[in-house]
A and B are shown apart, each in its own frame.
Chain A
Amino acid sequence: MTFYKTRKDLLYLAIFALVIVAMPLWLKPFGAGYPDLMQRFMIFGVFAIGFNILFGMTGYLSFGHAAFLGAGSYAAVWSFKLLSLNPIPALLFAMVVGGVFAALVGVVSLRRSGIYFSILTLAFAQMSYSLAYSVLMPITHGDSGLQLANTDPRVLDRLFGADGTLPNLFGLSMHGMYGFYFCALILLACFYFSMRLDNSPFGMALRAIKSNQTRMSYTGFNTKPYARTAFIISGMYAGLAGGMLAVTDPLAGAERMQWTASGEVVLMTILGGAGTLLGPFIGAVIIKYFENIFSAFSDAKLNEIFAFLPDGLQDFIVMIVSPFVGEGWHLTLGIMFMLIVIFLPGGIMEGCRRVMKNLRRRSSEHPTRRSQLKPAE
């Protein structure tokens, strides 16, 4: 049984890997086949998959996850500055920092659950955000953000005689296509890990906590260490994602910790489908894709697009559409958020499942209709 399950998992993973690796090909027709955007897909995919371990599996809604992402970014940039421009130590460092930070926040926040947990995590995130602008200035460099400089010590680089001014993996630039494949590898590893976690007894315990924590406690099961571990793991994912952001663009700023950023990852997870493996990644891709496309629109471009319409109609449509694109992209995001929560709380994955079910029912129309005619059992 387990063997069968593992084999099915491996097949799932292989298909997923194939889709990811072929991304530059199939995203080209959508105008998204360039490395910068695809890197962001990967990075926020990691972030959302990690968030899902906490929210989707364990049922704790954290509103402060961006704090771990920001901390990871700072950690990675510091590793670039002090140790080496190689991304591997930077990402390890970012993960450790994200995990330790999550452990500290978790000790306090996880003593409560439900909305108190949400508010506690929000409070911690807001605290780190305002501290990053004041007391922690020597670490964060406040408004100007943490940047690389030629005068950085970079102990390891000096030792091995490596040079360069941007993060690179043994000479491979992390900015273009190599950067994308590097991020894709990390995403696949993260996806595989969360898949294994989902199938493990540990994942089962997390799901049990989500469905009824009180009942779990009554059966003599100490839920706290499990929730805490889930929180730390998801903090490490967030730290890793923050580190990846720094790898592709070596700059860290406190605005990444703002609570709107925390809201964004919640939205990604919900949009794709909380509690599913693939959902959060799909949500991340969709949101980052539309953010990129929509926020680039301007009135001139809209006029160009609707130029085929008669003049009056064209002006009218441009007038209606323009508040939702460009600067107003967040409005679209908010509306999308509401629609998803209202009509499809299970997210896109749930929607797919419903469509599939409908199709299946329709294809086997006859037998079902006959069975419906039978008296109730």
Chain B
Amino acid sequence: MDWLILQFLNGLDKGGAYALIALGLTLVFGTLGVVNFAHGALFMIGAFCAVVFSRLVRLETVTVDPERLSPWGTPLEVRTPVVELWLGDFGTFLVQYSVPLAILLAIPVMLLIGWAMERGLIRHFYKRTHAEQILVTFGLAIVLQEIVKASFGANAIPVYAPPAVSSSLNLSASLGIGTDIFYPWWRLIYLGSALLIIGLVIAFLQFTTYGMVIRAGMEDRQTVGFLGINIQKRFTVVFGIAAVVAGVAGVLYSPIVSPNYHLGMDFLVLSFVVVVVGGMGSIPGAVLAGFLLGIVESFASMAAVTRVLPAIDQVILYVVAIIVLLTLPRGLMGRKGVMEG
């Protein structure tokens, strides 16, 4: 029973990341009709927003304290973050909560990058073939990834969750089941925020007039245009939202997996698998498939399973994708007539 809950939670965590990236991918595909291979790079840039922010608040001053001696007998160097000197308690708060606060940095940065990408590049590729869209965004992904590599180095940079939530929660005590199930707080928070973000995006599309127009544009872009609505502008907004979602997902995920420059590519391939399994352009499909595949992957990586089928954890997602693509041409929840080729 314990292992079941643990694997389930692990799967939901992994699935949260897949779902958030896939949500953006499928939104962009559904609205703009563009296959964006650079979407994983946006996730990676989000994660590096967390790195930049925590580095900024941790800029230190070094003062020599002659009173205290280090073990070598020299005066001890005391390092204090500048923000703590300037802002006191609030500075300490900034340092400790650098990851959640990095979201505030990530949102404008991602909006800007998303806007620039859409205006500067993607816009000119609406009418081109899917192959050319894939190729140009693939090139963009390489460029973004190499820029990050050039500025932050090739090694992963660890980022830490706030100390207040860096411990684990004793699930068995709070749920009253099993013996001892411990689960890191941050992962639970991450899962909660992933669900919240997904909920917000879906609510925005479902319950606001703006979202309704966007959905109408997804159905029939031409007619919406005839009604005198500048659908193009709204689709640009959608691209921005997708970029922000990917970026925030990257920030939140950074304490779980240390950001490195190929993080985006690693997630991108799997997110595409998720989108395809869910059905191209279908938002609930992407979310459902994201969580499902996360759970499947988590259960496949259990020792009991890998003993019977070695390395199944590394290929299970692809196997599922291949089976789904061959049996359900539209994926789990794809709409009829959308990309059935």
Residues of A at the B interface (CB closer than 8 Å) are 61, 63, 108, 111-116, 118-120, 122-124, 126-127, 130-131, 134-135, 259, 263, 266, 270, 323, 327-328, 330-331, 333-338, 341-342, 345
Contacts and interface: CB of A to CB of B under 8 A. Distances in A.
A242 to B, nearest CB: 21
A97 to B, nearest CB: 20
Given A131-B314, A334-B142, A114 B339 contact: yes
Given A114-B341, A266-B135, A323-B150, A126 B311 contact: no
Interface residues of B, number: 38
B321 A123 contact: yes
Nearest to A117: B341
B325 interface: yes
B136 A112 contact: no
Given A134-B310, A135-B310, A331-B150, A338 B339 contact: no
Main secondary structure of the interface of A (DSSP, over half): helix
B142 A337 contact: yes
A330 B146 contact: yes
B182 interface: no
Chain A CB within 10 Å, residue with most, of B141, B143, B273: B143
Contacts of A124: 318, 322
Nearest first, the 4 A-B pairs at minimum CB distance are: A334-B142, A337-B139, A134-B311, A331-B146
Contacts of B134: 61, 63, 115, 118
B335 interface: no
B220 interface: no
A154 B255 CA distance: 52
A314 to B, nearest CB: 21
A331 B325 contact: no
Contacts of B35: 115
B269 interface: yes
Contacts of B318: 123-124, 126-127
A103 to B, nearest CB: 16
B140 interface: yes
A338 B139 CA distance: 5
B206 to A, nearest CB: 27
Contacts of B143: 331, 334-335, 338
B321 A131 contact: no
B269 A345 contact: no
Nearest to B306: A134
B127 interface: no
A270 B146 contact: no
Nearest to B280: A115
A122 B139 contact: no
A338 B140 contact: yes
B138 A112 contact: no
B43 interface: no
Interface in B296-322: 310-311, 314-315, 318-319, 321-322
A124 B269 CA distance: 11
Contacts of B128: 345
Interface in B70-127: 121, 124
A120 B135 contact: no
Given A114-B130, A328-B146, A331-B147, A123 B322 contact: yes
Contacts of A120: 321-322, 325
Nearest to B276: A119
A341 B121 CA distance: 11
A118 B35 CA distance: 11
A341 B135 contact: yes
A139 B272 CA distance: 30
Nearest to A330: B146
A86 to B, nearest CB: 34
B329 interface: yes
Contact of A335 (B139, B141, B341): B139
B131 interface: yes
Q: Which residue, of B141, B311, B326, has the highest number of chain A Cβ atoms within 10 A?
A: B311
Contacts of A122: 269, 272
B39 to A, nearest CB: 14
A116 B131 contact: no
Given A114-B130, A338-B136, A341-B135, A330 B142 contact: yes
A118 B311 CA distance: 24
A65 to B, nearest CB: 14
B2 interface: no
A140 to B, nearest CB: 12
